[in-house]
Amino acid sequence: MSKLIGLILITFLTINLNAQDSLALDRQSRRVFQNGELLNKADLASTMRPNKDAFKHLESATDSYIFSNVLFGLSSFPLGYTVGYFLVSQKIPKIMFGVGLGLLTGGIVLNVRSKSQLQKSVDSYNSGLNLSASRKTPLELTFGINQHGLGFNLTF
């Protein structure tokens, strides 16, 4: 019976090791690297989740980026309509042009904001890595859910 319980524990428990290394951001491509390896969105979120401030900025950057893409998509119809109407009648429909320009400007502003929030997120995470006795312990072992299932998380 104890062998069966041991087999079940070995099957379902995983060990997840997280080394706390600094992150690097390529601002042009919005890619984040750790130790020279590209982090995907899920890995980046799981890396930043222990640092509340960095994770808050990451969520804000993600929300701004998504909403800026929505505004870019929405601006295409009024601007396209304006161009088409101008080609046919040599007149500019001012209301459609204004709406399209407003949506495009809002998308650009949110895109710039998302880049700055992503930079703040990376900077906040990197500044939180200086380990001091009052803030963090250099070695942390927790039990919980990770990306591989239920198991131990060792952060060093």
Summarize pLDDT for 29-41 with one digit per residue, the tens.
788 888 788 888 8
**Sequence-ordered alpha helix ranges (H) in 25-51:** 41-48
Predicted pLDDT of residue 104: 95
Please indicate, yes or no, if residue 28 is contained in any of the structural domains. no
pLDDT in tens, 65-101: 999 999 999 999 999 999 999 999 999 999 999 999 9
Same domain for 72 and 95? yes
Same domain for 45 and 82? yes
Are 17 and 146 in contact, with CB atoms under 8 Å apart?
no
Neighbouring residues of 67: CB distance < 8 A, sequence distance ≥ 6 = 110
Q: Please give the residue range of the domain that contains residue 88.
A: 38-128
- Residue 155 scores a pLDDT above 90: no
- Residue 15 scores a pLDDT above 60: no
Average pLDDT score, the chain: 81
Nearest to 115 by CA among 65, 41, 45: 65
| Number of folded domains that form the chain | 2
Phi, psi at 33, each rounded to 5°:
-120, 145
Same domain for 55 and 67? yes
Same domain for 11 and 47? no
Please indicate, yes or no, if residue 33 is contained in any of the structural domains. no
First-to-last C-alpha distance (Å) of the chain: 36
Neighbouring residues of 42: CB distance < 8 A, sequence distance ≥ 6 = 147
Q: At which residue do the structure tokens 């893409």 appear? A: 69
Predicted pLDDT of residue 39: 86
Percent of the chain with pLDDT over 90: 43
Query: The whole model's pTM is what?
Result: 0.67
